[in-house]
Structure 1
Amino acid sequence: MVDFCDRFHYTVIKEEVNKMLTPERHQMILQLVKEQKVVKLQQLVERTESSESTIRRDLAQLEKQRLLKRVHGGASVLTGKGQEPTMIEKSSKNIQIKQQIAKYAASIVEQGDCVYLDAGSTTFEMIPFLINKDVTVVTNGLMHIEALVENNIRAYLLGGMMKSRTKALIGAMAQESMQKYRFDKCFLGANGVHEQLGFTTPDPEEALLKQMALTFANEGYFLIDESKFSEVAFAKIANVEEANIITNHLEIDLEKYKRQTNVIEADKQ
């Protein structure tokens, strides 16, 4: 009897302490999000020694205060529509998911295809899967062209001005170069896809190049991981129905996207 009472008393005290420490818990959550950019729910549960329901409430409150953004399975740093992560930052996020998407995307490239890979981190992951294919690749990505040459894949690099953050070539010269090519398929990245607002990216000049690639390709594919759904960046690229989507398996409802275009879940193929 005494043991039960002691445990009950401990539980009550622990719950009260957790309630008292809400500001400290919020501070810890915000610090982790700031340091890691994206934090999983389970990590927050373990670090704060709180329940999932408590952390979910915390995230809802912090999102309401515009201090972070809730994403599937956790939280991410809040960014403006015009903010753009560097290529290194993008390459280090969701790497296994990006490789899974990239592997499927490369599998639909056929022998003899001429394809366009834009300067995205997921399109970059396609390159190792193209090694044994007789293909021609055009890209505006400086990191991409280096990897293509190293892997002995026939490749062309667009001209233009280099963006240091994304290692992409953009501008009037890149647009002029793009007009010289026609593609069987193009594979593009985006910072967000929204069922009403379409595919978007922070830079209008990159958006224009992506639009041109879609125009000059028989088939267009956006490689979109789970963190990009319902996100909206500054510059619109295209409506959802204008290209196919290759993504990973999502727990979110994809029906609103599937009603508009072909959505391929790579891990189900």
Structure 2
Amino acid sequence: MLTAKRHALIIEQLHKQASVTIQELVNLMDASESTIRRDLSELEKKDLLKRVHGGAMRINDTHAEPSYQEKVGQQTREKQKIAQVAADQLNDFDVIYLDAGTTTHAMIPYLKDRNITVITNGLMHLPELERYQIRTYLIGGQVKHKTGAIVGTVALKQLNAYHFDASFIGTNAIDERFGYSTPDPEEAEIKHKALLQGKRRFILADETKLNTKSSYQIATLNEATFIVDKLSKSMRTRLEKQTTVKVAKS
């Protein structure tokens, strides 16, 4: 089994349970103890788990994915500020990709009466898009019920047919070295693909996502403009060495 596949399986096990033993991983992957120990060491160096005697454990909640319902009431004012800045980046008649998620969802009211066309993988966006009579195309594929996102190989193939004037992507975590990341490998693939299909590329996140790291990288910092509700001067200076940063006015 390839190293990347073993690493993905280890992280997946830690999504399901708070800790895992070396023996459990040996049995799961039919690998030697020395190989598993080496894998755990490599993942610990990336801050993706914490090694303990006889195994490993999850290190923080950025590896456990909250549901859409859990996130929808969090940081609502911050999301509104971010959404306004994001909408200001648009031109009338743009064709855009709107990623599934609550921060991107906050953009929808600002799209009204602008002749914007939206392509999305977000089931939860549909009622609001319909409410504002925004022309919408829904990507097909597997429905992820926890987040209302459409993912999988069918969705990835459909994205190949599109080129967007702008892509707006949400993220669970932001780290200066690891970039933007999420707990789910399929969502990471969709987000990355949709980002690359955009002429203008934006990542949307509130300040609480900074200095955190999740399991699967979406993109490096320099692959997209970062839109955030607020930033310390020192953090902004560091981030601007790698990418363009747009901060909402307080």
TM-score range, shorter chain: 0.7 to 0.9
Cα distance in 1 for partners of 2:246, 2:128 equals 26
Matched, 1:163 2:144: yes
Q: Give 1:177-188 correspondences, 5 Å limit.
A: 177-188=158-169
Q: Give 1:1-269 correspondences, 5 Å limit.
A: 79-251=60-232, 253-267=235-249
Percent of residue pairs bearing the same amino acid type = 39
| C-alpha displacement of 1:146 | 2.2
- More displaced stretch, 248-257 vs 227-236: 248-257
2:180 match: secondary structure: strand
Moved over 4 A (4+): none
| C-alpha displacement of 1:197 | 0.6
1:253 match: secondary structure: helix
Cα deviation 1:52-82 (Å, max 9, x = unaligned) = xxxxxxxxxxxxxx9xxxxxxxxxxx84443
Aligned partner of 1:82: which letter?
H
Structure 1 residues 97, 80: CA separation in 2 closer, same or farther (over 3 Å shift)? closer
Gaps of 5+ in 2: 1-49, 51-58
Question: Does the aligned pair in 1 maintain the 2:62–2:172 contact within 8 Å?
Answer: no
Cα distance in 1 for partners of 2:87, 2:72 equals 18
Aligned partner of 1:212: which letter?
K
Cα deviation 1:89-145 (Å, max 9, x = unaligned) = 111111000001001111211111000000011100000010121111000000112
2:96 match: secondary structure: strand
Cα distance in 2 for partners of 1:227, 1:166 equals 19
RMSD of equivalent CA atoms: 1.5
1:211 match: secondary structure: helix
Cα distance in 1 for partners of 2:114, 2:201 equals 19
2:63 match: secondary structure: coil
Query: What TM-score comes out, normalization by structure 2 length?
Result: 0.74
Alignment size in residue pairs: 192
Cα distance in 1 for partners of 2:96, 2:183 equals 24
Question: Does the aligned pair in 1 maintain the 2:65–2:183 contact within 8 Å?
Answer: yes
Cα distance in 1 for partners of 2:154, 2:131 equals 25
Cα distance in 1 for partners of 2:66, 2:195 equals 23
Larger radius of gyration: 1
Cα distance in 2 for partners of 1:254, 1:243 equals 15
Q: Comparing both chains, which one has the higher relative contact order based on Cα–Cα distances under 8 Å and sequence gaps of 6 or more?
A: 2
Gaps of 5+ in 1: 1-65, 67-77
Matched residue, 2:7: none
2:249 match: secondary structure: helix
Matched residue, 2:21: none
1:267 match: secondary structure: coil
| C-alpha displacement of 1:186 | 0.4
Matched residue, 1:5: none
